[in-house]
């Protein structure tokens, strides 16, 4: 079962009418890919939205980052052999997101796709996707940016 399907199952009964899980990946807090390996510019800015405070939103070293048609949700990483969504950490509806940064691929041995999401009245979510998930991560963040732009129209 794919991680997206596991998140959908984890949300059982909690999804709003018409809401479906679009994507899910294991993510790391900023700098987490390098820690694990060794041991912006806004894509979408939302008018009329309270600016996100410059306070980092706390996350564990690894977490499941999921995007639904209505929200971004984070879970702890569960599962014994394969990653699965564990306990809910954060959930924000798309209208709570102030901006999404253009993700950047950092260089070095522990390459990672790194970005940030501004959450109105809460802070800034920093995340990284490991090198093998960089393309899927970029695709998910671009999908999120398009969804935020559609909210404006």
Nearest partner of 88 among 66, 118, 115, 69, judged by Cα = 66
Mean pLDDT of 91-116: 91
Whether residue 36 is predicted with pLDDT greater than 50 in this model: the reply is: no
Instruction: Give Cα separations from 80 to 7, 85, 86 (angstroms).
Output: 16, 11, 11
Average pLDDT of the chain is: 87
Specify the pLDDT at position 43: 59
H/E stretch holding 24 reads strand 21-28
Q: Which two tokens stand for residue 112?
A: 């990672």
């Amino acid at each position: 079962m794919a991680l997206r399907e596991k998140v959908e199952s984890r949300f059982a009964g909690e999804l709003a009418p018409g809401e479906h899980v679009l994507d899910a990946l294991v993510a790391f807090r900023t700098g987490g890919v390098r820690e694990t390996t060794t041991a912006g510019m806004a894509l979408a800015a939302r008018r009329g939205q309270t600016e996100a405070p410059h306070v980092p939103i706390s996350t564990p070293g690894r977490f499941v980052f999921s995007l639904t048609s209505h929200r971004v949700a984070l879970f702890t990483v569960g599962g014994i052999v394969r990653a699965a969504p564990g306990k809910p950490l954060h959930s924000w509806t798309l209208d709570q997101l102030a901006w999404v940064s253009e993700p950047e691929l950092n260089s070095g041995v522990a390459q990672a796709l790194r970005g940030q999401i501004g959450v109105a009245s809460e802070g800034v979510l920093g995340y990284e996707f490991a090198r093998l998930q960089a393309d899927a991560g970029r695709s998910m963040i671009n999908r999120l940016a398009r969804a935020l732009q559609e909210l404006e129209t």
